Amino acid sequence: LGFNITLPFEQHANPTVDGTENLLPFHFFFTRKLFFVKEADALVLCPGGFGTLDEALEVLTLIQTGKSPLVPVVLLDTPGGSFWQGALDFIKNQLQENHYILPADMKLMRLVYSADEAVEEINQFYNNFHSSRWLKNKFVIRMHHSLSEQALAHMQEAFADLCISENFHQHSYQGEEHDEAQFSHLTRLAFTFTGRNQGRLRELVDYINLQENWADASATRNTAV
């Protein structure tokens, strides 16, 4: 799908969707942004003008505040380009250093210099992580692979700041998510998330995505030995 904005100048759609039924024009920026954020499993941002920066910062604000689900936000630049690095330097030096954002908020975006790197970054984000949701007072991460006991024990200390109380609990589908039964085959990681510091949540996702932390990976290593 292509979500274009109707303007009195420029803003032609890209050749892939231009002239097809997959191109949806919008008259208002806010409805366009709502649609592409709502439907996106990942966001890749290329160098651009005010509109690009507006979209980048709004997406980051929505994720940072928990108003939008955590997804990979990839800043794609040309090899040797300085557009996004300059933006990151400003965010770090002016926002982070002046305590307008948390240090971990910098983890919500990744800088790459090729389309292949962008694809690799997105694939890695979903290497084990599938999706997440709130279930009453618990935050539930759905995973393709269960975590090893060692990885789970490490998380109890390394990511304790994400929990209001209790610890991380790993379990199978228990019927509480009857409205999304199509995901019943996935393993759950549940905890009483504070709802703050989405950058740290991204670090947790990165941790569970490492194959070395999966239970079946541990079994494979033991068999090999």
Q: What is the pLDDT of residues 77-113, one digit of tens each?
A: 999 999 999 999 999 999 999 999 999 999 999 999 9
Give residues with Cβ within 8 angstroms of 64, minimum separation 6: 101, 105, 108, 198, 199
What's the CATH number for 2-125?
3.40.50.450
Residues linked to residue 4 through DSSP beta bridges, in sequence order: 25
The predicted pLDDT at position 30 comes to: 84
pLDDT digits (tens, 9 = 90+) for 110-133: 999 999 999 999 999 999 999 999
- The confidence band for 26, taking pLDDT boundaries of 50, 70 and 90, is confident
- Rounded Cα–Cα distance for residues 173 and 137 (Å): 17
What is the pairing mode between strands 110-112 and 73-76? Answer: parallel
Question: Which two tokens mark 171?
Answer: 């379990």
Q: Residue 155: exposed, middle, or buried by beta-carbon count in 10 A (0-12, 13-18, 19+)? A: buried
How many angstroms separate the CA atoms of 68 and 50, rounded?
22
**Which pLDDT value is given to residue 156?**
96
Q: What are 26's strand-pairing partners?
A: 5
Q: How confident is the model at residue 220 (pLDDT cuts 50, 70, 90)?
A: low
End-to-end Cα separation, the chain, in angstroms: 48
Q: What's the maximum distance between 2 C-alpha atoms anywhere in the chain?
A: 67
pTM for the whole thing? 0.88
Could you give the 3-state DSSP secondary structure of residue 24? strand
In the predicted model, is pLDDT for residue 38 greater than 90?
no
What letter represents residue 101's amino acid? Answer: I
Residue 225's pLDDT band, with cuts at 50, 70 and 90, is very low
Who has greater pLDDT, 16 or 211?
211
Amino acid at 198: Q
Q: What confidence score (pLDDT) does residue 224 get?
A: 40
What is the helix, strand, coil percentage profile of the chain, to 5? 45, 20, 35
pLDDT value at position 17? 83
Predicted confidence (pLDDT) per residue in 47-66, tens digit? 999 989 999 999 999 999 99
The 10s digit of each residue's pLDDT in 138-195 is 999 999 999 999 999 999 999 999 999 889 999 999 888 888 989 999 999 999 999 9
- Three-state DSSP class for residue 1: coil
**pLDDT for residue 74 is more than 90:** yes
How much is the pLDDT for 222?
44
Q: Give me the pLDDT at residue 11, please.
A: 66
The helix/strand/coil state of 224 is: helix
Tell me how far apart the alpha carbons of residues 141 and 123 are, in angstroms, rounded to a whole number.
17
